[in-house]
Each structure stands twice: as structure tokens, then as C-alpha cells.
Structure 1
């Protein structure tokens, strides 16, 4: 029985906890067993089990009286021994508990092995013995109650009329499909027959009907939520939200990765980057190179001749680190890598613009390679 398993588990946990309590006790024991926490816990357990025994005894005795009156002359061993157990339990439990309560004061001992949680060995095992007797009594009551219930079930089944018709068990598959037995096909025949095949007016299976009803309810909720109340975005709105989010994520990613640009990874930017580079050029570079890049103190930036390389990587490196020996400062501390890339792209876009008053050619000729 499930209840028996519960009591077995309770018994194991109880004795485990008692051993842990006993090992963990420290300091001198109390002057009296009634003041010892372990003794108090054991006596509370004894009282609780005694209450359970009283309740079980009422139940088992009442059931036994009913069954004995019903089955005259069929007294079993369980019905004869129940009163004996009641008497033994009533005598042993209070007597042993009282004997424990009146035990002499516990004297201090030198070794922890001679006491359990501050209790003398004899007192401890006396209390545990009372609990064991009560548990055995409870198990026996439960066992006898189970036997009485089983005998009642067997008697009830035997008294049932043999002519009672047994209702056939319907399988779950038949319930889900609402199959009609072959004996009832005549009631649902539509009298349409072709080549020996008859047409029956079978109802749709319940699972199909319930699924159809759920679809109608779902459709109504969906229509109200997305097209009437607009409490949630429609498919088109979800797409637009996703596109906007993707664009924002892309911009954030580019902004994050752009800070890693250097002279090895720089590339020519688009019109937006070139426009930003023009603003930086007019602010920081026009004083030396002219407003249109025609040159001044610095070289002409619109022809095909370059003093320090004409690739965009070379231009980026020249702006970043400068040319101190020729009076050009390094801009890597005043401009971010993104701004340096924008300025480099703008300077490269000035090639071939031929502004007026352009300075003479300086450096080596550099031509952009043909795109593959």
C-alpha cells in the first residue's frame, strides 16, 4: 500500500535524523530527561503515533464488526488479534513513556559513545523501542484493514447477478471517431448503392469537428486582434519593424567596426563619407592645400603625382602619422579612424578636378589600377 511506503520512509528518516542529532550533540547533558530536546522530540513522536493507533483501531474495529456481523462464523486471525494488539498498545506505550519520563538524571560521561544526544543509552533505546512498537502496530492495522477491504470487494463481486450484461469497453480510437457499430448501419443508410457499395450518413469525427470549431474561434480572435483593434502588429507591420530594426543594427555594427579601420583595411567610402571628409578638409587642411586641393604650402592633391604614395592606404597613413620633417602634423590624436577614412576618401575624389591656380607636380606618378 502507498500508506505503508510512507511509513517506511518516515521510519528511515526518523532514525537517520536521530543518529545525526545524537552525533551532533555537544556540551554537558541536561539535568533531567524531560529537559532534553531529543527526549522531548521522541515523546512527541510517541504521542503522535499513539493518536494514529487510536484512530486506526477505531476504523479497523468498526470495519471488523460490520464484516463479522455479515459473515457469521468466518472470524479470521486478524479479527481475533486486533483486541489483543489494542490492549498491548494501550499498556506498553504510556507505560514505557512514563518510565522514560521518570528516569533518573543523566550523569556526565567522558565519551560521546555512551550517550545519544545527551540521553543515556537505556533511555534512548527505550523511547525508540516504544516508537518501533507503535509503528509495528500501525503496519498491522493497515494490513488488516486492507485484507478486510479486499474481502468485501470479493464478496460484492460474488453477490452480483450473473445475468448482468457486461458493457463492452470502447477504445479511445472509437471514441475520437464516433464509430457506429455494424448493427446500427441500417439506421444511417442513405439508400444510395452502387456495385454493392452503400452510402452511410456518418457524422464527422468529433476530433475533426472540435478542430474546426477551434479554427473558427481562432480566426475571430485573430481578426479582432490584428485587423480591428490593432492591439498587435500585422504581418506587414511586423515586416516593416523587422526591416527598421535590421537597418539600425547594421548602422550600429558599422559604427562599431568602423573604429577598427587602419591603413591596412581602409577602403574608398560612398558619397556620404566623402561629404563628411570634405567638411573636415575645409576645416583642417585647406590652409595648406587650398580649398579645392590645388596646393599652397602643401602639395597639389588634384593631380596624379604623390610624394608619399597615391593609394588610399598611403593617403590614410600620411594623414594619420603626418610628415613632421616637412611640417605636416599627425592627425591620429585629433581624428577618429572613421574621420581619417572620410578625409582620405575625399582627397582621393579630388583627382582630375583641375582647379585654377594649381601647384606644379611633385612626387611620383600614380595611376589607379583598372577594375577587374
Structure 2
């Protein structure tokens, strides 16, 4: 299965400029739709680079997160969370279990539920903006605003008391770390399992109580809820990238300021273009595949690059440009098909409310240093920005 390292492009050697086109990744995309690469963990994998092929593979159950032989599965990156997902998922029943889990979670992200939740989210956004204002400039938006806001919103939805939020933040940060010493989601799950016990005794209208009512065992509920919380890291990243974009794109900022009704379209474009390559969802082939003439065998590691797909010129006209007039914007930021993120409606709401509140409260909000000097962490699975110093 392995090839000499020099024969394969190494993902670790590819550069990803912040909020700019990524020539290294785009070169792979232009070469072909499926490219054999060397992963961050040093294993071989297939990188799928183009929109049509990525979207097609996300439909149905031809790829999954489990592997028939986890001990010998190729690894994407040295992450305890991804290793747990591969090792602990029941390969034979993965797709059925996935559908069952989505059936439990989806009602909590329905249109009706989001409409009912929006006033509470708006209040949490206002509190977060108050905290940022009280902190005073300069401030790291990640630490003072984005991380605590995302955690507060998730806890509101899930049913985690406010007094427990401070404990969860450090555990989530630790779970995101890469390397052999990372403990994954286990410490976070232990805290949640205590809350599950409380909700069985005192059920409420929240996600933990719903999972209990669905008959899931405590350990599985804790694992699911921990996964939902970890998924919230994506919102943190998009809050940061979005603010960086709004503070560096005068035309975009002027447009949404003059017409707040454009903010939903702006959110779609900002999440589509947050990265130009390297936002990868690792899967394994559940059957032999032929993709763009490339033979992928059962069990092979398949890397679906959602960011590259989102900036594929075959799918989007002028893909690197923020265009608030796009009549169709079927980006894959929240994935697609059975793998589509159930939390996408909440993410969209939170981003819309947060960007609007920040621009409304701080008309002079600006970056302390230029976008070219912003960096992404190389020791965290969730990526995003290391820091985002702002002033007003």
C-alpha cells in the first residue's frame, strides 16, 4: 500500500494562506479529481479535490468513518479523537447507527426549534459583546468572544447548566490537541455523564433529556454530546474567519452595514471561502470505488477536501470572490448527504447574529495586525486561527 515518500505530495508541505487562494492545493485540484497523497500521519491516502466528486462520494454509504480492520487502518493525522472514531465505531452497523443517531439529534435543530431558540441565542450574543466591550481594546476575539459564545450557545441547546461551562472549555481545548499524549474526548465525556445522570432524574426539554428518552445508554449519550460540543469548534473558527474577512474586505463590510438583510448571504459566502484548501473530512471506502478513473479499494483512506470543493471553478463562477448576489450557493462547508452537519441551522443563526451584533456595537472594529500576519495552529485538530487581536 505504501509508496516511496518522494513519489507522493505531502499534505504537511502544502501551505494554506489565511483568507487567500492556496496555490499548492489548487495545483493538486487542477491536476486531477483524485490525487494519491501522504497524510500528516505519514500514511497513504486518496485526496478528492473537486466539487462534483466530493459531493458524489458524500451521497449514500460508499464511504464511512469506520474501518474493517482499525488496527491496520491508514491514519489522517495523529489525533486521539479521530482514532477513537475509527476504533470504536461498529463497522458492520455504522450506517444504520449513524441514521439512528441523526434521528435523535435532528429534531433539536429543526426550523421550529431554531425559531424558538433564537431569542436566547441573541441574548447570549449580546452578553458576549458586552464582555468584549468591558474587556476593552485590544482583545483576542478567540479568547474573549468566540470560544465562550460558542460554548454558551451549545450548552443552552444541550441542557448544560451555566455553572458547568467553565469546566468544559479547558477539556474541549485539551481534546483538540494533536499528539500521542492527547486524551481525546474521554475527560469531557466523564463530565457529561454526570449530567446525564441528573437528567434521567429531572428530564427537561433539552438534547440530553431527549437522548435519554430515546433509550441510549449513558456512555453513548456522553460520547454523542461530547461530539456535538467538539463540532462547535467549527463555529468558533467561522466566527474568527468571518470577523477577519469583514475587517479586511471594505466592500463586504459596507454592503452588510448598508443593508443588514444581506447578512445571511454574506454568512454563506464567508463560510464557503473561509479556507481555500485543507479542510478535510477523512473517510474510508466501504466498497471498491472508481472515481475519475482512479481505482479506490475497500478500506482505503479517502480524504474529502470540502474547502477545495468550495472553491472549484467547475462549480462556482469566480470561486475566490465574495459574491452576495449568488443565486445558488450549494457549498459543502457543512458536508452533504447523510454526512451533512445537523447543527448547520444553529451555526448559521449564531454567525448571523454575532456578526450583526459586533458591527452594530463596534462600527470601527478592526484587526490589530493584517490578515497576512494571522496564523493557524498546527497542534489542534479543529484548526481555525491561533489568535485574532481586534480593536475598536
Provide TM-score, normalisation by structure 2: 0.17
More strand by share: 2
Larger Rg: 1
Provide TM-score, normalisation by structure 1: 0.18
More helix by share: 1
